[in-house]
Structure formats: structure tokens, C-alpha cells
Amino acid sequence: MTLSRQSGTSDAMPQAGTRDPRLDFFRGIAMFIILIAHIPGNWFTLWIPARFGFSDATETFVFCSGMASAIAFGRAFRDRGLLMGTTRVTFRIWQVYWAHIGLFFAIAATMVALNAMFPDGRDYVGQLNLYPFFNNAQTNLIGLMTLTYVPNYFDILPMYLVILAMMPLMIGLARIHFGLAALASITLWVCANVLGWNFPAEPWSERGWFFNPLGWQLIFFTGFAFMSGWLPAPPRDRRLFWLAVAIILVTIPFAYFRVFNAFPVFLEWRRDWSFLFQKTEFGILRYVHFLATAYAAWFLVGPAGVNILPGSRPGALARAWQGILAIIMKVGQQSLAVFIGSMYLARVLGALLDQVGRTGFSMLWVNLLGFALIIGVAYGAAWFKSHPWKRAA
């Protein structure tokens, strides 16, 4: 892939159906952060963005998924109509559903194998609270297949499935008037946050899905609306940039554990107002913090991402950055395969750290190993999608 700065770049969002380098870049960065965040006992998690603000890589992943969905499915809705567009989305739901089921069984089987390999070590099945599944497999197998049994570690893809199913409705409402789609999205978010609407996560309790799709659809359809042209790109204004930076900085004492644990006033605020930034229903402060972070990042990368693209005649450093950028964007382009791979690899890498010990050096090489593996997954997925068997010998 050749990446170079283009003269006369526009800051407008591209038409749905064309790729935006900014989307692939930020989605790729989110994939690396998601891997770090899911490796058990990983010291690197002390330095990911989630430690310093209310929003984290999950918001980036869902927002970018909304934008990517506008690219992937927007043309089908636009060119072939609502029925064929819905059929296209249904096929994607089918793919993601079986990816979710496959991921569960792959991890469950691996955790059982790790328990057998290290009987005196950690209880890997218990770490993921999978004993309820094995103790009553007949009931919970039905729950797994019907998404009424959703263990916490396996909750992002079910959320994505429900949001994908909402897409034809939102597009149909937007064709009548964008205000109807916006009203529907906001109403669902209010029902999740105020009325407590959610989906059951397990048959034996009242626990709901950790990622409530009725709340999280708000940020997904925000990204979808920008990429679809329902919302215009925000103005590039330094005053807005510094306002976004101010919101990010003001948030730090309320989000960074070293600060709020040291100053009781921040800790008390968190206890009293936790509903404003709770993750399950996607509290409003998470939305505000993400929008501020996204605007600051969007402003810094420049029109059409010109500030992250290498020059047309790059020197040694620019060539190195071009290679790094190509890797990041490849990871972003293959986000589903990379996400599945990273969720599986995170548990295996955590078990590896249990065996080698958690030192500064081991943390470094295990995380780098994880990065190399998900990069391999990205390039492998892209190779298979290229249908190499169709090429001339």
C-alpha cells in the first residue's frame, strides 16, 4: 500500500463506499489497545487512555465500526434499496454471530486445556466464570446460542450484533427525516440509562449485558451519521480544539486512579455520580469525553489525515513511518479478524505471563509478541480475502 500526502485535501467526510485513512489508522490503534487491555495482569494497562479519561478504546472501536458500517453497507442501501441493504446487513450479522460462537468455544476449550496442563496453577476456567456453563451445559448451551447467556468477556460482539440489526430501521427513519433517526437513537439511550432497559446475560440471575446495545448504539450511529453524510464534518476551529483539550484535562482527576484515590473529593464525586460515566449503559460523560478526544485527534491529524501520511518523497524516517502506518492501517482494515484473534490471544498471553513471571522485561516482550501475532492475523485475513486461489498460477 502506498501512502502519500495529497495536495488540496478536503476535510469533508468521504462518501460512504470509500475508505478514509483516518478511520483505518484510529481503528488499528484501538485494536492494539484492546489487546493490551485484555491480557490479565498486564502492567501496560496502567498507561492506556482508559486510565486517564472516562472513554476508552471501546468507544473508538464502536464509533469507528459505525463509520466502517456506513462504508460497507451504505452503498447497498443507496444503490439497491432498503430490502437488499437489509439482506447485506443480515449476512454480516450471520458472520459475526458465528464468530462470537466460535470465539467462545475456542477460549473455553483452551481454558480447560490450561487447567489440565497446570493443575497447581491459576484456575483459568474460574477466571472467566465459565463453571456455570460447564455445570449446566444443556441449559446454557441454548442460552449461548440464543444470546441469553453472555459471559462478561464475550459481550462486545453480541452488542455489535444487536446494533447491526438496528441499522435498517435507522436508515429507514433517516430517509424520512434525519431527525427521526436521531430521536430514535436518543430515545433508546434514555431507555437504557433512565429506565434500565437491557438484555438478560444469564438465565439464573437478573444481570444484564455488560455492554448494553441500547445505550452503546448512540456512539455507533454517531459515527455512522458522520460517514453517511447525515451529519456534516465539524468546523476546524482552534477554539473548539482547545475546548476539547480542556475537557480532556479536566476529566483526568476524576478518572485517573492515582489522583482520585489520593484526594477524597474526587473519590466522593465518583461514588455519587458514577451513573454519569458508567460503562454498561454508556453514561453521558463517556460520550462527552469521547467526542472531545475524537475532535482533538481529528484536528491534529489534519484534513483527510494529511498529518499522519508520509511525504511524497520520504526520507529514512518517513519511510519507516510509512511502513509502520501501513501495518497499523492493515490491522484497522481487518478489525473483526484482529478482534477475534486478540481476545483469544490475550488469555493465552496472560497464561504465558503466569509461567514466565511478570517483570518489566517479560511484560515488554509478551506485549510485543502479541502485537506481532495480531499483525500476522491482519495480513493473513487480508490474504485470504484476496482469494489467492483465483489468481493465475
Q: What is the pLDDT of residues 265-289, one digit of tens each?
A: 999 999 999 999 999 999 999 999 9
- Look up residue 263 and give its amino acid: F
Instruction: Give the H/E segment covering residue 173.
Output: helix 156-176
User: Each residue's pLDDT tens digit in the chain (393 positions)?
Assistant: 445 444 344 454 544 445 678 899 999 999 999 999 999 999 999 999 889 999 999 999 999 999 999 998 988 998 889 999 999 999 999 999 999 999 999 999 999 999 999 988 899 999 999 999 999 999 999 999 999 999 999 999 999 999 999 999 999 999 999 999 999 999 999 999 999 999 999 988 999 999 999 999 999 999 999 999 999 999 999 999 999 999 999 999 999 999 999 999 999 999 999 999 999 999 999 999 999 999 999 999 999 888 888 865 567 888 889 999 999 999 999 999 999 999 999 999 999 999 999 999 999 999 999 999 999 999 999 999 998 988 877
- Which DSSP string do the residues of 180-234 spell out, in sequence order? HHHHHHHHHHHHHHTS----BS-TTS--B-SS-HHHHHHHHHHHHHHHHTSSPPP
Helical ranges in 256-306 per DSSP H: 257-260, 264-272, 284-301
- Give the C-alpha separation, 324 to 339, whole Å: 19
How confident is the model at residue 3, as a pLDDT?
A: 53
Please provide the size of the chain in residues. 393
Cβ-Cβ contacts under 8 Å for 210 (sequence gap 6 or more): 150, 152, 155, 201, 279, 280
- Give the C-alpha separation, 131 to 108, whole Å: 10
- Cell readout for 337 is 479478524
Contact 37, 279 (CB under 8 A): no
Cβ-Cβ contacts under 8 Å for 7 (sequence gap 6 or more): none
How far is CA 128 from each of CA 112, 120, 132, 294, 363, rounded to the nearest angstrom? 11, 18, 10, 32, 22
Distance of CA 172 to the CA centre of its chain: 25
**pLDDT tens digits for range 309-327:** 886 556 788 888 999 999 9
The gap between the terminal CA atoms of the chain, to the nearest Å, is 23
Instruction: Give the H/E segment covering residue 48.
Output: none
The CA-CA-CA angle for residues 11, 14, 16, to 5°, reads: 155
- Give the C-alpha separation, 175 to 83, whole Å: 14
Q: What is the pTM of this model?
A: 0.90
